[in-house]
Structure 1
Amino acid sequence: MSKRLQMLISAVDKDSKSLLEQMNIESDAVLVNQFIKTDGDNYEEEFQQNGHTVKVIGRREKGVGLSRNTALENADHEIIQFADDDIVYDQGYAEKILKEFDDHPEADVIMFNVKAQEGRETYWNEDFAKVTWKNYGRYPAYAICARRDKLVSSGVKYSLLFGGGAPYMNGEDSLFLHDCLKSGLSLYRTTVALGHEVSGESTWFNGYTDKFFYDRGVLYHFLYGSFASILGFRYLFNNRKTMCVKKGLFKSYHLLNQGIKHAKTLKKV
């Protein structure tokens, strides 16, 4: 398995070695640990844990997109696996990932099953199939594995505008996969399961606030361009009984359109 699989972990204020034990890591890894609430200076270290090489990059900064890009820039293995610090992996996950890529040379990126905590499920793959423009938006980063050389040569990186620690709420994973498709990478989904999410509070969701709808508009501009307003209305209408109960459909839509308008002034980073 040497130099084949490398996990890219984004963490915040964690003790590196205890986190790796908790996650049940059985592959090489790059761990980017951002200091937000704790003290510490920037540092880099490399050590062996359970026979695997781990590079830890400690940074006094915030932003999940920045964290994932830093990890990718420091990766040097054939297959990379994005991960969060609240995932526990099943025994044998590494071999499962490598087998899927070996069995499917046509795949540049594969989305694996990882069981989310109850109430936060966005997907569960029930077949092996190509991921297209119709269904790419459901996958979190911890589902994504890729051939590193294909990903690097495509130039696709995580946006610094969206996600935890960024100016706007979640959506960075959808935008990342959007850019993968746009660059011509071949994306697939698989029924192979790798682990589960540990229960905890969301790092970004604070209810259906003004910011929620505004930020959704910013995201939709980058995802859908001139169709952002139309698809934004469809999104709100389909979810009006949950999302728009307090503000109403048209107030929510107004906020979303304000976000779309603002996004046109932004440069994508």
Structure 2
Amino acid sequence: MFLNDSEEMIKRSHITSDTIIINQCDEDGYKEEHIGDAFVRTFSVKERGLTKSRNLAISKSVADVCIICDDDEVFSQGYEEAVQNAYSSLPQADIIIFDMAGRPHKWGDSIKKLGYRDIMSVSSWQITFRREKLLAKGIRFDENMGAGSGNGAEEEFRFLTQCRKAGLKIYHYPYELATVAQTQSTWFKGFDREFFVNRGNTTRYIMGLPLSVLYAAYYAFAKRKQLTDISMFKAFSYTLAGIKENRLNKLKKGNN
């Protein structure tokens, strides 16, 4: 995305709140502008990686509550007030997970405090958070994961797991925040060997060794009807190979 695309994206996404755009391109730059009701600050950076852009946005934000947004997201009319009302009604919540239009509402119409199993299925588009609570706990998105890292996805699960470990409270609030087109994934190229090896690495990194092996068996079985090029048993074996490789834990130790 280039700097002059900011207005197009804001209007396409129906954004009315103050916004930070991280523009990963071949030059560094900054501009600020009013687009409709939104005050928009765009930071252009040469650095690549989805989680790096999210962390930069958090560091540049001055908002009390932040909403994660991808460029294929279209917000519901009145979303800003709805999010504010949700946090007012849940003053104990540090993170609130909303619903997406056209996608399953896993927790129905209930306000629910989310546990470990719940957060496994949360996507980034659903996540909002109190920024100061994250900063106080030193929590960021793990830059060893996510699109552009070469290590697969699951960065949202890692993020929310770290939030839970730090004692932050995560709730679901029944409101359709936006719709997401997601016509083409930037990282998912199909259920192939690379996908399952990366998944083995990420699940061991997040869950530890015993749980990741159990989850590998469950996941291969759960996805068996979607596997066209490899068998369920191959999928399981590739995931075990990733678990054994343990690349992310080794990478983290090497960076410490």
Match of 1:234 among 208, 218, 225: 218
Q: What is residue 3 of structure 1 aligned with on the other side? A: none
Alignment partner, residue 216 of structure 1: 199
CA distance in 2, matches of 1:232, 1:214: 10
Q: Distance in 1 between matches of 2:182 and 2:170?
A: 29
Q: Does structure 1 conserve the Cα–Cα contact (< 8 Å) formed by 2:98 and 2:174? A: yes
3-state SS, counterpart of residue 117 of structure 2 = coil
Alignment match of 1:248 (pick from 182, 206, 231): 231
> In structure 2, do the counterparts of structure 1 residues 194 and 180 end up closer, same or farther at CA, with 3 Å as the change threshold?
same
Residues 9-67 of structure 1: per-residue CA shift (max 9 Å, x gap): xxx557111111111111111111112xxxx4111111222233211111123211001
Q: Which digits, 9 at most, give the CA deviation of each residue in 1:162-221, with x for residues without a partner?
A: 221111222111111111111110000011112211252122211111101100101111
Give the aligned CA root-mean-square deviation in angstroms.
1.8
Segments of structure 1 that go 5 or more residues without pairing to the other structure are 1-11
Query: 2:190 matched to 1:195?
Result: no
Any gaps of 5 or more consecutive residues in structure 2?
none
Alpha-carbon distance in 2 for matches of 1:144, 1:102? 17
Q: Which residue of 2 aligns with 1:9?
A: none
Q: Distance in 2 between matches of 1:30 and 1:122?
A: 29
Q: Does 2:121 align with 1:138?
A: yes
Classify the secondary structure of the residue corresponding to 2:250: coil
- The one of 94, 101, 105 equivalent to 2:87 is 101
1:62 maps to which residue? 48
1:236 to partner: Cα distance:
1.1
SS in structure 2 at match of 1:265: helix
Secondary structure at 1:70 match in 2: helix
The residue correspondences of 1:179-194 to structure 2 (distance < 5 A) are: 179-194=162-177
How far apart, CA to CA, are the structure 2 residues paired with 1:28 and 1:125?
29
Contact 1:87–1:196 under 8 Å retained in 2: yes
Instruction: Please identify, of 143-152 and 226-235, the stretch whose mean Cα deviation from structure 2 is larger.
Output: 226-235
Partner of 2:12: 22
* Aligned structure 1 segments of 4 or more residues deviating by more than 4 angstroms: 121-124
Partner of 1:52: 38
C-alpha distance in structure 2 between counterparts of 1:56 and 1:80, whole Å: 16
The alignment partner of 1:18 has SS state of helix
Counterparts of residues 27-176 of structure 1 (less than 5 Å): 27-35=17-25, 40-115=26-101, 121=103, 124-126=106-108, 127-176=110-159
**CA distance 1:209–1:122, shift in 2 (3 Å):** farther
> TM (normalized to structure 2)?
0.91
- Percent identity over the alignment is 27
Query: Which residue, out of 246, 250, 255, partners 1:265?
Result: 250
Amino acid at match of 1:30: I
TM-superposed CA distance for 1:241, in Å, is 2.6
Distance 1:141 1:62 in 2: 18
Counterpart-to-counterpart distance in 2, 1:237 and 1:183: 32
- CA drift of 1:107 comes to 0.6
- Contact 1:112–1:125 at 8 Å: present in 2 too? no
- Partner of 1:30, secondary structure, is strand
* TM-aligned CA deviation for residue 123 of structure 1: 5.1
**TM-score, structure 1 as length reference:** 0.87
Contact 1:123 1:138 in 2 (8 A): no
Please give the alpha-carbon distance, in whole angstroms, between the structure 2 residues aligned to 1:199 and 1:173: 16
Alignment match, 1:7: none
The letter of the residue matching 1:62 is: R
How far apart in 2 are the matches of 1:190 and 1:30?
24
8 Å Cα contact 2:220-2:233 kept in structure 1:
no
